[in-house]
Amino acid sequence: MVKAGDILEHPVTGEKIIFRKTAKDTRGELLQAEVIMKPHGFVAAAHVHPRQEEHFEVLSGSVKFRVKGVEREIHSGETAVVPPRTPHVWWNDGDLEAHVLVEVRPALRFEEFFETFFGLAQAGKVDKKTGLPNPFVLALVMQEFEQEICLANPPVPVQRILFGVLGALGRLRGYQGRYAYPR
């Protein structure tokens, strides 16, 4: 279980997360972390948080966001808020590292999602270009954390059907929906 001060890294996407406050620290109200994104780093896929609001404050550098299809760049000292159920993705388009303070309310099991997702990357079990695991594993992870995160596309009802089939096949192949981050 992640605790304040823990660091997770995704070697493909160029993200490093330093946890400041966890669900346990805040009785589930907030997950707060600093995300350090390498130059040209990215979040692996456009996504939606069904029940969570995400607040971003750029501490240094700049990042680009695409929220509901609208792209904008925010710089040091600027903020962006993404309401629940809003498709979004973000990345560092620049040549300098970006430091972004991210707050997610409520925390739910979002830190467990990061442990799994970044744990797969640390184990070399993700695509070297996209940072995503194979479709069977992705289906199981998305089912496990459906309260925290969904892909922006296809529509959620289609994802549930698709991930149901792929997840069943994945379980038959010995895959699971949670993975440990190597410590």
> What confidence score (pLDDT) does residue 137 get?
98
Domain membership of residue 153 as a residue range: 112-172
Summarised one tens digit per residue, pLDDT across range 161-177 is 999 999 999 999 999 99
One DSSP character per residue, 131-153 reads: -PPPHHHHHHHHHHTTTT-EESS
Summarised one tens digit per residue, pLDDT across range 58-84 is 999 999 999 999 999 999 999 999 999
d(CA 180, CA 111): 12
- Looking at the structure, do residues 16 and 55 belong to the same domain, yes or no? yes
Residue 99 inside a domain? The answer is yes
Confidence of residue 183 (pLDDT cuts 50, 70, 90): confident
Last residue of a domain, one of 110, 133, 149: 110
Nearest partner of 41 among 20, 68, 10, judged by Cα:
10
Residue 178 inside a domain? The answer is no
Residue 183 inside a domain? The answer is no
Residue type, 100: V
Question: What's the domain count of the chain?
Answer: 2
Average pLDDT, the chain: 97
- Looking at the structure, do residues 23 and 96 belong to the same domain, yes or no? yes
Peptide bond into 106 cis (omega under 30): yes
Residue 122 inside a domain? The answer is yes
pLDDT above 70 covers what percent of the chain? Answer: 100
Residue 177 inside a domain? The answer is no
> What confidence score (pLDDT) does residue 104 get?
98
Residue 1 inside a domain? The answer is no
Residue 180 inside a domain? The answer is no
Summarised one tens digit per residue, pLDDT across range 42-56 is 999 999 999 999 999
Pull the structure tokens for residue 78: 């600027």
pTM confidence score = 0.95
Last residue of a domain, one of 89, 110, 131: 110
Torsion-angle region of residue 29: left (phi > 0), alpha (psi -120 to 50) or beta? alpha
Residue 179 inside a domain? The answer is no
Confidence of residue 86 (pLDDT cuts 50, 70, 90): very high
- Looking at the structure, do residues 52 and 87 belong to the same domain, yes or no? yes
pLDDT above 90 covers what percent of the chain? Answer: 98
